[in-house]
């Protein structure tokens, strides 16, 4: 007689715990949740979102989260799935430092490996984590190339 009650009680505690987990939007994403975006995230967090996240300086729509990146993808020209050369977000990282519009702006380095990561991610369709928007937070200072 006592057992079912105990079982029901522990089940409801469990479901409260699960519900709390799902509604906590700030919990850090697991690697599995990020999928192939896992390698792109540190590039954007160390080179871009200082200016293109919450404190954005540019007129273009912000990309401070995976949800905002999805909007850029929907607008095509910023992020053209499968076509890095047609994606503004990729074009700007391939411009020479002294060219107007080069990103990160003059002097802020982005290395060849990071450019390749962005390129391959867009070429593979720019997949983003599904289910919830994951915030991209600036990592460290922007490193200068000169
Ligand atoms: C130091 C601040 C800063 C950083 C870091 C930065 N940007 Fe920008 N970005 C700007 C500003 C300011 C503009 C708008 C003025 C301009 O176009 O030069 C801009 C504009 C852009 C544009 C639109 C430009 C166009 O010509 O259409 C894109 C795309 C862009 N940034 C992508 C990036 C990417 C990708 C990174 C990271 C690799 C990055 N930015 C890093 C400040 C920054």
Q: What is the pLDDT of residues 3-46, one digit of tens each?
A: 656 556 555 555 444 444 444 456 788 888 899 899 999 999 99
- Expressed in percent and rounded to 5, the helix, strand and coil fractions of the chain are 50, 5, 45
Give the residue numbers spanning the domain of 73.
28-123
Query: Residue 3 domain-assigned?
Result: no
Q: pLDDT by residue (tens digit) across 90-117?
A: 999 999 888 889 999 877 789 999 999 9
CA distance 5 to 43: 51
Residue 105 Cα, ligand 1 centroid: separation in angstroms? 7
- Within-domain flag for 130: no
**64-90 burial, b for 16+ CB within 10 Å, e for fewer?**
bbbebbbebbeeeebbbbeebeebbbb
Torsion over CA of 35, 30, 33 and 19, rounded to 10 degrees?
180
Structural domain total, the chain: 1
> What is the atom index within ligand 1 of the atom nearest the CA of 100?
18
In a domain, 48, yes or no: yes
Is pTM beyond 0.75? Reply is yes
Partnered with residue 108 across adjacent β-strands are 144
Which CATH number characterizes residue 98's domain?
1.10.760
């Amino acid at each position: 007689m006592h057992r079912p009650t105990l079982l029901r009680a522990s089940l409801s505690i469990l479901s409260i715990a699960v519900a709390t987990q799902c509604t906590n939007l700030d919990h850090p994403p697991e690697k599995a949740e990020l999928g192939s975006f896992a390698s792109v995230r540190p590039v954007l967090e160390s080179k871009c979102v200082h200016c293109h996240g919450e404190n954005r300086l540019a007129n273009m729509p912000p990309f401070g989260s995976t949800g905002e990146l999805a909007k850029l993808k929907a607008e095509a020209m910023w992020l053209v799935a499968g076509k890095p050369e047609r994606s503004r977000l990729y074009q700007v990282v391939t411009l020479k430092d002294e060219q107007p519009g080069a990103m990160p702006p003059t002097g802020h380095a982005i290395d060849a490996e990071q450019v390749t990561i962005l390129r391959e991610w867009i070429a593979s369709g720019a997949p983003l984590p599904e289910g919830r928007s994951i915030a991209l937070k600036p990592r460290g200072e922007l490193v200068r190339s000169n």
